[in-house]
Structure 1
Amino acid sequence: MPVGDEPDVVERLIPRGAHILELGCGAGRVTHPLLERGYTVTAVDESPEMLERVRGARTVRSPIEELDLGTRFDAVMLASFLVHAGDPAVRRGLLATCRRHVAEGGAVLIQREPEDAHTRVPRERAVPGGGLVRIAASEPVAPGVRAVRCVYEFPGARWTQTFLSRPLTTETFEEALAEAGLVVDRYATEDRTWVLARAAH
């Protein structure tokens, strides 16, 4: 997948040269542009196959919710809508890791779903390189949990991904942050999908 607007969002909110802890880095889709813009990145993922593709960053193989590096970072980034994990215990673990690793005065950047993520279906968007990402379905599978089917189409390749999502209203999202000792500083994009949070005092 090509990079989206994530590096631009980070650059608007976090000074260049900052050390960012990127949780769920995958193959480095966002990591590499951040490095190019002058950030230091520690990239975390469970998958050794993904981490093998990351270049120029310190890499750590670990489930996010179990991570404890014993150090704090200028910024912690939890993107890819991971905060909407289907299991509330996993979500609590993810946010606890964010709080555990953010420095005093540092920032936690969280990407959340748009308000209409599960009602404006199907929908699609074009991506650089001639690709298309289509949200084909969002169906309830358990109380408060939906199964989302996403179709990716690129020249010469097509694949489908299904993942579980627990929709969060603004109120329940902020309650989840508060439980982890975090507070919203501001909603950083017009669509309110990117949130700048800080440690609560």
Structure 2
Amino acid sequence: MSTSFDPVAYGESTIDFYDLLYPAGEVPGIVDFIRKRVPEGSRIVELGAGTGRVAVPLAESGYAVHAVDAAPAMLKALRVKDPAGLVSVHQADFTRDVVGRDFDLCLIVKNTLFMMQSQEQQCTVLRRSAEHLGEGGLLVVETYEPSFYHALPSTHTQSSVLGANKLLIDTIQCDPVAQTLYFLRTLVTDGRKNS
């Protein structure tokens, strides 16, 4: 099993079904959560923004949003969702790069933090997040609670229907001692392009 994460390869391999992985119904709750913490017009940077699932609705809600992602495929999809260009897009490695230092809020959602495969890498991301923030700025991190995965047998397989002709099969291995979770994702389709 590989212990390195390549965000560009991740973007290329998941772009065809990425938006199907995360329910759109969650986004209004995230936007509402942010509204209660920073006023409209605030500057927000989202690290690991992907296809703009959260960044675009925040920008449409009146925030100055900067989306950071290392994967060109993800940012290309974001631009398609944002034809007005409301979101400022930065292709960068957020473990190394800082795209500004005066943001009111830095946002890391879903499994982005846990894509970093060591505690040291996760701490680096949190340090970079702090470097983006101006005085009084807030860091918001959303992630999953891992105890479900710790209770799995050595290998676990689950499937998810992503559409009428898309089935995602996840093979999962968890090493609770090393605090590592491995996903092998297989997308099964009917073979037609753009289906």
In the superposition, the TM-score normalised over structure 1's length comes to 0.62
Describe how 1:148-163 pairs up with structure 2 within 5 A: 148-150=183-185
Provide structure 1 residue ranges, at least 5 long, that are not aligned to the other structure. 158-201
Aligned to 1:18: 42
Task: Call closer, same or farther: CA 1:113–1:152 in 2, change over 3 Å.
Answer: farther
Sort the Cα spacing of 1:72 and 1:117 in 2 relative to 1 into closer, same or farther, 3 A: farther
State which of 17, 20, 36 in structure 1 corresponds to 2:60.
36
Q: Which residue of 2 aligns with 1:199?
A: none
Q: Partner letter of residue 8 of structure 1? A: G
Corresponding residue to 1:140 among 172, 175, 181: 175
Aligned counterpart, 1:174: none
Structure 2 CA distance for partners of 1:107 and 1:145, relative to 1, 3 Å: same
Percent identity of equivalent pairs: 23
Instruction: Specify the alignment match of 2:75 in structure 1.
Output: 51
- Alignment-derived partner of residue 94 in structure 1: 125
Which string of whole-angstrom CA distances, capped at 9 and with x for unpartnered residues, describes residues 29-57 of structure 1? 22222222222210111122322232321
> For residues 66-105 of structure 1, what are the structure 2 equivalents within 5 Å?
66-84=96-114, 85-105=116-136
Q: Distance in 1 between matches of 2:54 and 2:32?
A: 12
- Partner residue in 2 for 1:9: 30
Instruction: Map Cα deviations across residues 115-161 of structure 1 (whole Å, 9 max, x no partner).
Output: 4340366566677x66776654233398232212345677878xxxx
Is the Cα contact below 8 Å between 2:27 and 2:53 reproduced in 1?
no
Q: Which has the larger radius of gyration?
A: 2
Equivalent of 1:110 in 141, 144, 152: 141
Structure 2: 5+ residue runs without aligned partners? Answer: 1-18
Shift, 1:22, TM fit: 0.7
Q: State the SS of the aligned residue for 2:95.
A: helix
- Deviation for aligned residue 1:19: 1.7
SS of the residue 1:65 aligns to: coil
Q: Tell me, in whole angstroms, the C-alpha distance in 2 between the residues paired with 1:153 and 1:11.
A: 35
Query: Secondary structure of 1:64's partner?
Result: coil
Residues 148 and 16 (structure 1), Cα distance of their counterparts in 2 relative to 1, 3 Å cut = same
Cα pair 2:110 2:142 within 8 Å, conserved: yes
2:34 partner letter: L
- CA offsets 1:144-179 (integer angstroms, 9 cap, x no match): 32212345677878xxxxxxxxxxxxxxxxxxxxxx
Rate the CA distance shift 1:116–1:38 in 2: closer, same or farther, 3 A: same
Higher share of residues assigned helix: 2
The one-letter amino acid of 1:52's match is K
TM-score by length of 2: 0.64
> SS of 1:69's equivalent?
coil
- Residue 52 of structure 1 aligns to a residue whose secondary structure is helix
Structure with the largest fraction of strand: 1
